[in-house]
Amino acid sequence: MTEKREVGKRIEELAAEIRRHNDLYYNEGSPEIADSEYDARVRELRALVEEHPDLAPREDPLVAVGAPLRRSKAFAQVSHRVPMLSLESLTSEEEIREFDQKAHRYLAVDVGDEAEAREPFEYSLEPKYDGVSASLLYEKGKLVRGLTRGDGSTGEEITKNLLAVQGVLPSFDAQKAPELVEIRGEVLIPRQRFEELAAEREAQGEIPFRNARNAVAGSLKRLKSEGLESLGMQFLFWGVGDLKGWQDLGSYSQLAERVAGLGFTISPLFTHGTGIEAVLAYHADLELRREELPYEMDGTVAKVDDFGLQHRLGRTAKAPRWALACKFKPRRATSQVLDIGLQVGRTGIVTPVAHLAPVEISGVTVQRATLHNFDLLAERDVRIGDSVIVERAGDVIPEVISVLISERPRDSRPFDVPETCPECHEDLEKEGAFLFCTNIDCPAQIQGRIVHLASRKALDIDRLGRKYVDQLFDAGLVKTVDDIFFLQDHREELLALDRWGEKSYENLVRELDRAREPELPRFLYGLGIRHVGRKVARDLAEAFGSFEALREADEEQLIEIEGVGPVVAREVVRFLESASNRTFLSRLEEAGVRPRSMEIRAGEALPLASQIFVFTGGLETMSRDQARERVESLGAATASGISKRVTTVVAGSKAGSKLDKARKLGLEILDEDGFRSLIEGLE
């Protein structure tokens, strides 16, 4: 192939790829690659087209912002009153300086404003949030609708879902409100909350989220908004679209202050500084503190603060000339794939994992990286022996994001998609991009099920964490889940194992005795039935009152219960009816396991139904988990942050900014005593 043909081919290839990723990001809400990877492709395409303008792609993905909209059945397509532009991502110091110089040149040459052009710009500075953008239209202080970004000029109407996001106000003080304003910002799930959610999701046997942004994108496109509140999504302001009113405002900083005064959240890291040096210094500092922040960011956004200057600078086809985004260096490194292994989870999900030559990425030694699933493995064509780029995004497991094809050794070996389970050798089944081992007796699944049954939120047996369960399996003391309840009969064998002594044996026996009479919701959750998380477990327990009654229920009866849909009902019945689970349950009975019965509450409106509680500060007489469980069992939901929809805030000792915010919003605030008397009166 001639060089020119090769370049042409590469251009079309990149254009097609970018279009696909635009579509995944904007339309599907499920991006498959990191932003930095996307940006690298855009840069490569732009450079090639600049050099060979005659080879510009037939459908240029860089001309349109975002993806051409596909007709979505679920949400109405609505035009933004002012388009949602994006910003070009700059990565090097030179690029950042050049942006500033270009803007000054533009003012001097094109606008003819030499005096202004000589003065350094005052920049407002804030993090670039790594979330999903949304635009909220308010008329006279009332939310009219909320839109996704879509293709930049038209978005999808997701108002109901957005109302479940903390910081999205249904209305604000009409006195202070402008005639009309499009409030724009980013929806995020704080890092810590995301980790909790990821763990809950795993516990429920759901397909794992790829990362926090993905979780937000998917959640905002849910067809039902019920339950979205509990995800703890937050809205952070970063700008306005259309604005009628507030003509006294002269700068973005003043605007941000006014918007904060209405109750929207502005980053505490918001500041301003003079000249491009201030931008560079802020960016360098933010990059160092990146890990300390409660949510994911991927860089800095700097805006020329003065509205007059913004107006004179204007915009290009795609981005404003007055704002720049500087991206952080990706937390990436190159390593070699020594092997590809398989991990079998509790639910039988089989995940390919790359074993890597140890490599340090921002202070952490990485030796394993997930390949997510077999479709992605095939698409990225990762082979044993390959040099690969590994990225750590936040605190999630590092992932292999691409292969350095030019460095592929001759003897690199593709990984064959397994047909059988690496642990039990039974056939695997494909479900979407995922493979599952469906053998309920698979040892890897059994180990996972024991760890889950013994976990803190289920039967809470201290000595049965992952390490000990592995040890007990290796020693042959446990082969099935119910075997744990016979461990007291193996005193001698246990005492012969590492890290076991008389005391730990006695502790285990005591904990097992306690676990033989579990609360029903904990027991049901601990069984690890697919889609049965803690909330469904509680709904089931409250509807049936006893395990025996639940075992007799059929799918129709289950579907009648609030919070239980057909998918959950089917899984519950399937679980209880399978032959091996029947054996398992009767063995539990033999071992003396009797879940406690409880009062039936279904049908009655629970006393705290439709209330939302937030706990802040430390409680003395119970843990926060216990407090949450108690209000949830009375029908309330709990949230992690303050918003107008929160009904009650329980403030323990050392309650901080949440309490201040609750006071500002005039929410009901209870101290620990007040809280106890409330729930004790209702329980």
CB of 30 to ligand IVH, least distance (A): 17
Stretch that binds ligand IVH, among 81-89, 108-116, 279-287, 588-596 (CB under 6 A): 81-89
- Cβ proximity to ligand IVH, 66 vs 528, nearer residue: 66
DSSP string, 398-460: PEEEEE-GGG--TT-EEPPPPSB-TTT-PBEEEETTEEEE--TT-HHHHHHHHHHHTSTTTT-
CB of 84 to ligand IVH, least distance (A): 6
- Cβ proximity to ligand IVH, 249 vs 559, nearer residue: 249
* Residue from the set 77, 86, 171, 611 that interacts with ligand IVH by CB under 6 A: 86
- Cβ proximity to ligand IVH, 313 vs 428, nearer residue: 313
The tokens for 468 are 């000990």
Alpha carbon distance 201, 212 (integer Å): 13
CB of 135 to ligand IVH, least distance (A): 10
* Residue from the set 14, 18, 85, 529 that interacts with ligand IVH by CB under 6 A: 85
- Cβ proximity to ligand IVH, 108 vs 269, nearer residue: 269
**Contact flag: residue 129 with ligand IVH (CB under 6 A):** yes
Write out the binding residues for ligand IVH, residues 309-338 only, by CB under 6 A.
320, 323, 325
Alpha carbon distance 173, 154 (integer Å): 28
Alpha carbon distance 115, 15 (integer Å): 42
C-alpha to C-alpha distances, 50 to 5, 7, 25, 54, 106, nearest whole angstrom: 16, 12, 26, 9, 21
Beta carbons of 512 and 484 less than 8 angstroms apart = yes
Stretch that binds ligand IVH, among 124-132, 438-446, 498-506, 666-674 (CB under 6 A): 124-132
**Contact flag: residue 239 with ligand IVH (CB under 6 A):** yes
Stretch that binds ligand IVH, among 82-90, 110-118, 326-334, 546-554 (CB under 6 A): 82-90
Which H or E run includes 271?
strand 271-274
Which regions of 345-386 does DSSP assign to beta strands (E)?
349-361, 364-370, 383-384
Which residues partner with 211 through β-bridges? none
CB of 112 to ligand IVH, least distance (A): 24
**Contact flag: residue 133 with ligand IVH (CB under 6 A):** yes
Stretch that binds ligand IVH, among 106-114, 122-130, 425-433, 570-578 (CB under 6 A): 122-130
**Contact flag: residue 398 with ligand IVH (CB under 6 A):** no
Beta carbons of 208 and 201 less than 8 angstroms apart = yes
Beta carbons of 234 and 166 less than 8 angstroms apart = yes
Residue nearest ligand IVH, CB atom distance: 133
* Interstrand relation of 132-139 and 180-188 (parallel, antiparallel or unpaired): antiparallel
* Residue from the set 21, 80, 104, 128 that interacts with ligand IVH by CB under 6 A: 128
C-alpha to C-alpha distances, 512 to 3, 35, 370, 507, 582, nearest whole angstrom: 72, 48, 35, 9, 21
CB of 15 to ligand IVH, least distance (A): 20
- Cβ proximity to ligand IVH, 208 vs 239, nearer residue: 239
CB of 284 to ligand IVH, least distance (A): 17
Residue 681 burial by Cβ neighbours in a 10 Å radius (0-12, 13-18, 19+): exposed
CB of 133 to ligand IVH, least distance (A): 3
CB of 279 to ligand IVH, least distance (A): 13
Q: Is 527 helix (H, G, I), strand (E, B) or coil?
A: coil
Write out the binding residues for ligand IVH, residues 490-519 only, by CB under 6 A.
none
CB of 128 to ligand IVH, least distance (A): 4
**Contact flag: residue 21 with ligand IVH (CB under 6 A):** no
- Give the total of residues touching ligand IVH (CB under 6 A): 15
- Cβ proximity to ligand IVH, 124 vs 455, nearer residue: 124
Which regions of 18-159 does DSSP assign to beta strands (E)?
77-79, 89-90, 122-129, 132-139, 142-148, 154-156
Alpha carbon distance 633, 626 (integer Å): 11
Which H or E run includes 613?
strand 612-616
Q: Which residue has 């101290």 as its token pair? A: 671
Q: Which residue has 């064959």 as its token pair? A: 416
**Contact flag: residue 126 with ligand IVH (CB under 6 A):** yes
- Cβ proximity to ligand IVH, 126 vs 519, nearer residue: 126
- Cβ proximity to ligand IVH, 57 vs 185, nearer residue: 185
Stretch that binds ligand IVH, among 78-86, 342-350, 514-522, 573-581 (CB under 6 A): 78-86
Write down the catalytic residue from 4, 73, 102, 128.
Answer: 128
- Cβ proximity to ligand IVH, 39 vs 632, nearer residue: 39
Write out the binding residues for ligand IVH, residues 184-213 only, by CB under 6 A.
186
CB of 587 to ligand IVH, least distance (A): 54
Q: Which residue has 């009332």 as its token pair? A: 142
Report the amino acid identity of residue 30.
Answer: S
DSSP string, 554-567: -HHHHHTSTT--HH
Cα dihedral value 564, 565, 571, 572, nearest 10: 30
Quote the radius of gyration of the chain (alpha carbons, Å). 28
**Contact flag: residue 237 with ligand IVH (CB under 6 A):** no
CB of 395 to ligand IVH, least distance (A): 20
Beta carbons of 564 and 227 less than 8 angstroms apart = no
Which H or E run includes 104?
helix 93-105
* Residue from the set 18, 125, 163, 301 that interacts with ligand IVH by CB under 6 A: 301
- Cβ proximity to ligand IVH, 121 vs 523, nearer residue: 121
**Contact flag: residue 238 with ligand IVH (CB under 6 A):** yes
Q: How many CB atoms lie within 10 A of CB 145?
A: 18
The tokens for 478 are 């446990």
Beta carbons of 41 and 19 less than 8 angstroms apart = no
- Residues 147-186 vs ligand IVH: string with x where CB under 6 A? ---------------------------------------x
**Contact flag: residue 296 with ligand IVH (CB under 6 A):** no
Residue 646 burial by Cβ neighbours in a 10 Å radius (0-12, 13-18, 19+): buried
Stretch that binds ligand IVH, among 125-133, 163-171, 560-568, 602-610 (CB under 6 A): 125-133
CB of 80 to ligand IVH, least distance (A): 11
- Cβ proximity to ligand IVH, 184 vs 490, nearer residue: 184
Is 176 assigned a catalytic role? no
Q: Which residues bind ligand IVH (CB under 6 A)?
A: 84-87, 126, 128-129, 133, 186, 238-239, 301, 320, 323, 325
Catalytic residue numbers, as ranges: 128
